[in-house]
Amino acid sequence: MSVLTHARPTSRTTTYDQLTPFRQTLFDTAIADALDAAEAANATDYNRAMQRAAHAAGLTIPTGGEVTKCACTGCYCTAIFDTAAPGLRVIETTDYGLALHQCADCADDHPTPVED
């Protein structure tokens, strides 16, 4: 008999706080490079930078995949996750088509933006 849980696949999520300072720097640099590449509409560089970011965070993403840090405005969450993971919520999509995401926990607890 299966039991329903809210557990997420651990390979798809980590937290920034758990990374060593060295890996945090690698992650930040890779994400910054990804944003630059997105701005320049350079998909090859973008995908490469995303792979570096995932690697820095100890995550595995498919080619063309993306990782991001939780952009929740409702708490100080530092979750890092594959944007293809289930249960995420898109907070907003930026000019270059990059979406800001809430992690699954935040999306559950305090979805943003709040619909009024």
Closest Cα partner for 84 from 112, 65, 58?
65
Q: Is 74 in the site for Zn ion (CB under 5 A)?
A: yes
Tell the smallest beta-carbon distance from residue 63 to Zn ion (Å): 26
By the rule CB under 5 A, 43 interacts with Zn ion: no
Task: Name which position in 19, 49, 56, 70 contacts Zn ion (CB under 5 A).
Answer: 70
**Shortest Å, Cβ 81 to Zn ion:** 8
Binding residue for Zn ion (CB under 5 A) from 57, 72, 80, 88?
A: 72
Do residues 89 and 103 touch, judged by C-beta distance below 8 A?
no
Of 22, 110, 97, 6, whose CA–CA distance to 58 is shortest? 22
Please report where in the chains the tokens 């999306």 appear, as a residue. Answer: 107
- Do residues 84 and 54 make contact, with C-beta atoms less than 8 angstroms apart? no
- List contacts with Zn ion (CB under 5 A): 70, 72, 74-75, 77, 79, 103, 106
